Amino acid sequence: MSGYATYQDLGRRCDKFATMRARKLRIGDKVKVIGIPMLSISKELENELGTTKLFKYMLGRVYTIRGFDEYGHVELHPKRLSHVWIEREFLKLRTRKPNKA
């Protein structure tokens, strides 16, 4: 052993600090959409699904977190029959109300 950190060690350290910096979001929290993710789908499919239009509609609005997927994306329901999973960096946590004990 030479005493130098390996790529795996550095990766674990970066993951640890990223986790520490990550905002603690919970189901039921209110979040504001502050950005739109880059979409990598064809124009035909995008026009058919209306994904870009839906994300533009969501921008600047506040939603309740409904859940999380296995990748850490946040589940929001912007419209009655729409489910959207969005990355945390496009959300801003609204202040939580203190629990009444």
pLDDT at 53: 85
pLDDT at 23: 59
Q: Backbone dihedral region of 21: left (phi > 0), alpha (psi from -120 to 50 degrees) or beta? A: alpha
> For the chain, which residues score pLDDT lower than 50?
1, 15-21
pLDDT at 21: 46
User: Which CATH number applies to 26-93?
Assistant: 2.30.30
pTM here?
0.66
Rounded CA separation 66/81 (Å): 13
pLDDT at 18: 46
pLDDT at 62: 95
